[in-house]
Each structure stands twice: as C-alpha cells, then as structure tokens.
Amino acid sequence: MQTKEPKIHILYLCGIAVHGGVGSYLTSVAQHFPQDKYVLHITYYTAQRFEEFEAAILARNHHVVFHHLPAFSIKNLLTGKLWQATKKLYQQYHFDLVHAHNPYLSFIHFYFAKQHNIQGRILHSHSSQPSGSKIKAQINRLFYQLTKLFVTDRIACSRVAGEFLFKNSPYQIIYNAIACDRFAFNPQQRQQLREQFQLDENTIVLGHVGNFEPVKNHQFLLQLLEKLAQQSQSYKLFLIGVGPLQAEYQQWVAEHQLQNQVIFLGYRKDVPQLLNLFDIFLLPSLFEGFPLSTLESQCNGLPTLVSNTVTDEVAITDLVNFHPINQTVEPWVSAIQQTIRNAQRESYADKMREQGFSIDQHIQQLIDCYQQVLQRQKQ
C-alpha cells in the first residue's frame, strides 16, 4: 500500500486589511490554488474578522485556514501581545513555507519562522513607493530593516516593485494575474446593468475600482468629471471601493452638485460583472506596484487610461494609454473625448491568457518557486 505524501502547509501573511490590492490578490490565488497537495494558511492583524473575505475564499477552497492575530499597533507591539500571539501560532502549527505580502509587518513572523527552522521565508513586494504619512513611512523603513534580517527569497509583482523594495538584492518577478473567464466581456450583462442603472446608449460610463485612499487620487477623478460635465451631461463616473476618504469625496460631489454624474457603489463583490457596464476605465494613481484592476479592465476589453506614474509593464494589450497627472485634467479630458468604445471586447480575455496573465499560469509560477525553496531545504 502506497503511503500518501503529507500536504505542504504554506502560511500567507496578508497584513492589516484585506480590502484592497493584496486582499484581492490573495483571494484569487487561494480560490484557485490546487488542494490535493497544499494547505494555505492566511493570517492578518485585525481587531475583527473579515467574514466576507474568508467566505469568498472558502467557497472555492475549503482547505484554507485563517488565523487572526491582534491588531497591529505600537501598544500591542511594545506590550508583547503581538509577539506572544505569533509565537503561539508557530507552536500550534507546522508550516513548510512562509510567504509574506507586507514587507513592514513581517519581521515578527520571519523571526519565529527562523526559530522553527523554516528555511523558506519569502517576501513579496506589491508596491513601487511607500504609502502613508512621512512618519508612517519612517516607521515602516525601520520595520523593513528588521524584516530584511530574516528573508531568504524575494518575489516582486513587477520590475518597479522589485527595484523599490529590494534594491540590489536578487528577486524573481512573478506578474500579477487574474481569472480571465470571470472578467471576460459579457454583452448580456452589459445590457442588463445599463437598464438597471437607467443608462441609455448615449451615456458614456467612466469606471474606477480602488479604495478611497490618497494613492488612488480620487480628487483628480472628480475634477476630471466636473470638467467633462461642463461640456456634456452624457458622462457618468462610477466609483467602486471603500475607505477613509469616501465621506469627504461624497461631500465634495454634493457641494458641486454632481450627484447625478458621480455614483458611489461602495464595496462590491460583483466587480467582474460591473466592468461590463463601463465604457472607459480610469486609473490616475500616484503610484502602483502592478495594479490588478488594469488586468481586469483589459481582460474585459475596456479602453484603459492610466497615470504615467504607473509602470508601463501593465500595458499588456493595445487598450492602455498613459497620461500625466501633474498638470491639469485637460489631457485626460481630451483623451476621453477621443476614445472610441471598443467593439471587440469579447476577444481580449483570450489575449490576456495568451500573454500569460491567467491565474492558473501565475499559480504554477508560484508552485515552481515553492518547490525550488523546498528542494533547497532538503539539501
């Protein structure tokens, strides 16, 4: 009788929040990861569970295990609460690899991983610049210096993300990817959604997916829509996301009497369907590592206007055009007015697969990386 090989247990460290790029990335990876040989553990620092995040993953992969650690704060760090909770996690479970997706909060995990002789401690860079205030950036730099002491392997979602975090240290680029089938254009859904939102064919829908945080540059979007609305009432801006600045921007819209032109959709689980509603996708971010939203928009066949501060690596297809955000909104106004609705949207999901940006291809690259690390541990 052949002995069944034990499954490989991989710990993913998400960080603090799961609503955003890293959370979307982990959701897609966990949902599609093969279950025959692997068990994924996802841990995050939180005062409360993110039940929708967990439910979405467990619906597709019931082998995923979630671990909730105390909220990451200076108080919990200095009192030892975070250390004790993380120590207990590593005492209770055996992990073969630790794959961290937050470079600044990983040092505690990597410390205990090394204590438990886990030779694969992988750090994944998802950004091209530090986020948050100057004080927060300084604190994060300090934390990262601690993290660096324990890292064995490095992955970056893009060239700029690797250069930003790892500098001259060696790293492997594994580009982000998506479930292409989910984001393929669906003309029936488009018609249903346009009817649901009472939009006629003359209405041009501008779409954006991103949390209301400074890096996403929503103020630029609103000023852009205001300028377009002065010239034509045919434009509407749909915003998908939540975040600390949402109330402020909703007030701005009300003060400028743009409630009929700007629609706040909040947190949505049906983003793949909602993309069918859009005519043009906008991403005027101050910076990005390798935004999943641009992969999703291209897969849906949407003309995609992106700030020139975002890496040109996201231009997988001919749908992407880059524009400056350090001037006025005029270049964007002109670009939108000259953009023609794409009549060949159905073909772009296949183009994304052909270019290697399907989630299955991405996961195979991850597995190849993991196998190399595990093989090294045996030597």
User: For residue 205, what is the DSSP state?
Assistant: E
Tokens at 11, concatenated: 């710990």
Ranges of residues in the chain with a pLDDT under 50 are: 1
Residue recorded with tokens 């000259």: 338
Tokens at 268, concatenated: 């949505």
Q: Output the pLDDT for position 1.
A: 46
User: For residue 249, what is the DSSP state?
Assistant: H
What is the rounded CA–CA span in Å between residue 244 and residue 184?
Answer: 31
Range(s) within the chain of domains with CATH label 3.40.50.2000: 8-177+358-378, 180-354
Q: In the chain, what's the furthest Cα-to-Cα distance?
A: 76
- β-pair partners for 233: none
Q: Output the pLDDT for position 359.
A: 96
Which option is the CATH number for 180-354: 3.30.413.10, 3.40.50.2000, 3.30.465.10, 3.20.20.20?
3.40.50.2000
Question: What are the DSSP calls for 92-140, one per residue?
Answer: H---SEEEES-TTS-HHHHHHHHHTT--EEEEEE--SS--S-HHHHHHH
Q: Output the pLDDT for position 103.
A: 86
Digit-coded pLDDT (tens) for 302-334: 999 999 999 999 999 999 999 999 989 999 999
* Type of residue numbered 348: Y
User: For residue 303, what is the DSSP state?
Assistant: -
Tokens at 117, concatenated: 């002789």
What is the rounded CA–CA span in Å between residue 151 and residue 110?
Answer: 7
What are the residues whose beta carbons fall under 8 Å from the beta carbon of 75, sequence distance 6 or more?
Answer: 81
Q: Output the pLDDT for position 17.
A: 64
Q: Output the pLDDT for position 3.
A: 58
Domain 8-177+358-378 has CATH 3.40.50.300: no
